[in-house]
Structures are given as structure tokens and as C-alpha cells.
Amino acid sequence: MQEELEKQIADLKNQVENLAGKQAENKISMIVFSGDLDKALAAFIIGTGSVAMGLEVVMFFTFWGTPLLRDKNKQVGGKDFMGTMFGAMLPKGTGGAKLSKMNMACMGTAMMKSLMKKKNVASLEEMIQMAGELGVKIYVCEMSMDLMGFKREEMINYPDLTFCGVAKFLEEAMNSKIQLFI
Amino acid sequence: MQEELEKQIADLKNQVENLAGKQAENKISMIVFSGDLDKALAAFIIGTGSVAMGLEVVMFFTFWGTPLLRDKNKQVGGKDFMGTMFGAMLPKGTGGAKLSKMNMACMGTAMMKSLMKKKNVASLEEMIQMAGELGVKIYVCEMSMDLMGFKREEMINYPDLTFCGVAKFLEEAMNSKIQLFI
Amino acid sequence: MQEELEKQIADLKNQVENLAGKQAENKISMIVFSGDLDKALAAFIIGTGSVAMGLEVVMFFTFWGTPLLRDKNKQVGGKDFMGTMFGAMLPKGTGGAKLSKMNMACMGTAMMKSLMKKKNVASLEEMIQMAGELGVKIYVCEMSMDLMGFKREEMINYPDLTFCGVAKFLEEAMNSKIQLFI
């Protein structure tokens, strides 16, 4: 009888361990698809706010989000024709990002930026720096880099930046409590 | 030996309680970032549908989503220059919301509205009222209110509306089964 | 005493079973709201990538996402005036999908397509076929079909396609590890 109880307890232990291993971690994973100023701001406000809530933060930059991470002071050569064209057409860093609405030939964007300054809301550049200091992980989509002809040397210096594919991001997202597509 | 079993059972109890405490609640948390008519409709269709599925529903209105909750019949004074400008430029309530696509100088929006009426799909105003009756919680982003110069007195009367920051939303989102950025 | 231990173990078993039943499944649920070429591509890249990570995949096509699934070679008659108008105005299948940014009178879209070909990135048509072969489930929103006046006979042949309401999707989303609104 005693033996039977021991067996049942061992079974339960296994099941509990199994369940514990499947628990989502205290993590938030975001896909930053958009290159709009307002959406990028929202992503970083959520990101830095999540650190304050004790969450680990992973941001995967893909498609139009990728150019946000270009360093406007870095020049790279050796691009092919398409790469040069995309490079010229796409914004170079946060300075070129515009509002998704009410842009009105950039007037809305300028208004919003001046307003944010007045109301003491951090700018996108400041947000990215803060995120870096807080340990927010940035993943950059390799396929987007390749499609847009960006080179690794033209991206910003960021403490924790990794170039990877969607699989690596999904691995993080699967084990996260929150996932957002922005 | 009996004592040993008791200890093991007590251990398991702790672990199971611990796991139970980490379980996501039957809740859905949505960030309504967009002010587009179609996306707002989608958010409320998902919201009211979720109540029917036994989920608690939290909707966090931020950026362009915020003006959707202004009451077109409420007038407030005492705004500064920027606040007055934003107030005039941004839609006042659901009536000013437009489709994200095929708006075509508002023709598409008008078509969609008449079509929804014909097909017995509830309008956005009706959706919001229904959501209120079903107990959907609305959070309004304080930073957006401040940036756009909105005052609390100009927002709609809604049964369960709270002004708060992103941290309060993240707290709900962390414990939710579903999170969406709309 | 022995009896007491047995009772405690039985209690624990119930709790553990209960917890196991509440665990999210290895599944990702996406709402494809957008009909933009880039967002649809992102959705299918995430979808097919998720299969490779061992996840079950459910994609719910609603609003502007719905026309992506029309078959350009199928003709249907018997539509009312609004249905005929919407049918003509909305893209018919993936060929009509455009970039959300940099479309520039379709030049950007054409550039992106030729670039994808050159870089060996699968086209949207190929992605959909691959998704079908990999067992990605497609749900089509009945309300959107009805609003846009689409008929079931004009949709693509896809191995696992179901017409349903938002409730059916929420049921899947509730039990998924990842949910995205695209």
C-alpha cells in the first residue's frame, strides 16, 4: 500500500515538472513590422514599460521596421543597384520616421515631435537608448536586411542586437506571456 | 517513511499552488492604437464576441484610438493652442472615423456604413454601447490624453472607463490568454 | 493516517489534471485583417515558419484580408448591386495586393516582387500553396464574406478552408500560445 502511494507521488511529481516546463516565461515578444513613428514609439513605450513590470523584452524588427535601426551617420559602399535605390528611398534611422496618420506633408510629424518635447515624452532616439540600457533585446530580420540590401555595418550600435530569422523569434514568442504584432 | 511521504505531498501542493497562480486568466487584452473605423469595428466585434466566449475583456485606447471615445455632444473650454488645434483636427467620436482602405473621399466609408445597416451589422456606436452593457472594461491612455490635449470631461459616458498608464494595461495583459495590438 | 494521505494525493491529482487541461496548446492563431501584400507575406512567413517550429497554425481572414483568398479565375454571377460593386473594387486574389508603404503607383510593389524573385523569397501565391501543403488551417470570416458580397464558389481551392464566425476563431486563439492581429 505504501509502495502504491509512493508510485502515485512519483507520477504526480513528473506531471508537475512537465507542467512547469510548459509555463510561459515572464517575457513579452513584439514584431515591429511598421516603420511609422507613432507605432515605433508605441512599441518602445510598451517595451520599456514591460521591463519596469519585470518582463524580459524581445523586439523583432522586420520589413519597414528595419530601416528604423539604420545609423544615419554610417556610410557603407559596395551595394548593388537595387540596394542603393532602396537605401536612398527608405528612411535612415528614426529621424525619417513619419506618423501613420495626420502626417500632412510632415507638418503633423513635426507638431507631434515638438509636442512630445514640451510634454516631456522621450523621443524615439531617447527611447531606443533607454531600451538598450534596460536590456531590451533587439532582433533584426535577416530576410528584410537582404531584401532591402542593408548591410550590418550600417545599423546602429545597440548593446543587445542580433541578426536572425523568424524561427529564432518564434522560439522566444512561444515562451512569452505576451506577443504583439505592431 | 510516512513522514517522508507527507513531506513530499506538501512539496507537491506548494508547486501546484504556485503553478495555478501563474496560469493566465480567462481574459483578452487589446490595445486599440488605430482610429480607423474598420479596425475599431474589428476590435469591438472581437471584444463582444469574447464576452460571449466567457472571457473578461480589457481594451486599452491609445494614440489614434483615443479620439474614438470623445463625446461629440460635449464641449470643453480652457485648452491651450495645441490642444485646441489637435481637438479640431482629430475626429470627435465614432462619427469621424474612416475606413483604413478604400475611403475614397469618404465614399467607401459611407458605403460600408449603409451596407452594415442593410446587413444588420451593428454600427460602431451600437457596438460601444453593447460592450458597456456586457461589462467590457475600457482603459484610456493618460499619455495620449495629455499629448492630444483631451480633457476627461469630453469623453463618452461609459460604465467601466478608467484613465491609466501603460503599466496598468500590461498588468492585465500579462495575465490574459489573448493579447492583440489593433 | 494512510487514508488521509490517499485523500491528499487524490486532491492533487485533480488539481494537476485541471491545470493540464488549461494549458495553451502548441498553436499560433493569427487574424489577417490587412489585405496589404507586405502584411500578408509576413503572416504567411510567420505561419509556415511556425509549422517548422512544431506549432499548429490557424489563420482567420477578415475584412481586407478576405479578398486575398478570391480565385482570379473563378467567375460567379447572381450578385446584387453592392456585391457587384465591391467585387469589382476589391482586389481579386493575391495578384491585386499592394504594399502598405512605398507603393508609389504600384512601382514599389512591382520592385518588391521582382526583388523577392531575385532573392529567392517565395511569392505570396507560392506561400499560400506551401501553407496548404504544410497543413495551415484557414478560416474565412463569414461576416466579411457577407458584407463584401463574396460567394463561397469564388474563393480559392485550399486544402483546409472553413467559413466561420469570430467565436470559432476565439476558441482556437484562447488555447494558443501565440496570437497576432495582422
Q: Which residues of B76-88 are buried (b: 16+ CB within 10 A; e: fewer)?
A: beebeebbeebbe
Residue A9 has pLDDT above 70, yes or no: yes
* CA A49 centroid distance within chain: 14
> If pLDDT is split at 50, 70 and 90, which confidence band does A103 have?
low
Q: What would the grid cell of residue B54 be?
A: 466567457
- What are A29-85's pLDDT values in tens digits? 999 999 999 999 999 999 999 999 999 999 999 999 999 999 989 988 888 888 888
B53: distance to nearest CA of chain C, Å? Answer: 7
Residue C33 has pLDDT above 70, yes or no: yes
Please report which residue ranges of chain A form alpha helices under DSSP H: 2-22, 37-52, 81-89, 107-118, 124-134, 142-148, 166-174
Q: What is the 3-state secondary structure (H, E, C) of chain C?
A: CHHHHHHHHHHHHHHHHHHHHHCCEEEEEEEECCCCHHHHHHHHHHHHHHHHCCCEEEEEECHHHHHHHECCCCCCCCCCHHHHHHHHHCCCCHHHCCCCCCCCCCHHHHHHHHHHHHCCCCCHHHHHHHHHHHCCEEEEEHHHHHHHCCCHHHECCCCCEEEECHHHHHHHHHCEEEEEEC
Of C149 and B77, the one with more pLDDT: C149
Q: Which of B174, B176, B179 to mutate to test the interface with A (most CBs of A within 10 A)?
A: B174
Residue A108 has pLDDT above 80, yes or no: no
> If pLDDT is split at 50, 70 and 90, which confidence band does C88 have?
confident
Is residue B89 less than 8 Å (CB to CB) from chain A? Answer: yes
Report the pLDDT value the prediction gives residue B108, as an integer from 0 to 100: 75
- The residues near A158 (Cβ < 8 Å, ≥ 6 apart) are A69, A128, A132, A138
B62: distance to nearest CA of chain A, Å? Answer: 9
Of C159 and B7, the one with more pLDDT: C159
Q: Which of B15, B100, B121, B124 to mutate to test the interface with C (most CBs of C within 10 A)?
A: B100
Residue C163 has pLDDT above 90, yes or no: yes
C177 → closest Cβ in A64, A147, A174: A174
A23 → closest Cβ in B19, B171, B180: B19
Q: What is the mean pLDDT of residues B81-87?
A: 83
Q: How far apart are CA B171 and CA A161, in angstroms?
A: 27
A74: distance to nearest CA of chain B, Å? Answer: 32
Is residue C23 less than 8 Å (CB to CB) from chain A? Answer: yes
Flag if B53 and C170 touch (Cβ within 8 Å).
yes
Q: At what angle do helices B37-52 and B107-118 cross, to 10 degrees?
A: 30
Q: What is the value of ipTM here, to two decimals?
A: 0.91
Flag if C63 and B42 touch (Cβ within 8 Å).
yes
Which residues of chain B have a CB within 8 Å of the CB of A112? 147
C72 in Cβ contact with C155 (< 8 Å): no
**Searching chain B, which residue's CA lies closest to the CA of residue A49?**
B167
B138: distance to nearest CA of chain A, Å? Answer: 18
Q: What is the mean pLDDT of residues A123-136?
A: 96
Residue C86 has pLDDT above 70, yes or no: yes
Flag if C101 and A64 touch (Cβ within 8 Å).
yes
Flag if C170 and B178 touch (Cβ within 8 Å).
yes
Report the pLDDT value the prediction gives residue B103, as an integer from 0 to 100: 67
C90-149 residues touching A, CB cutoff 8 A: 100-102, 111-112, 115-116, 118-119, 121
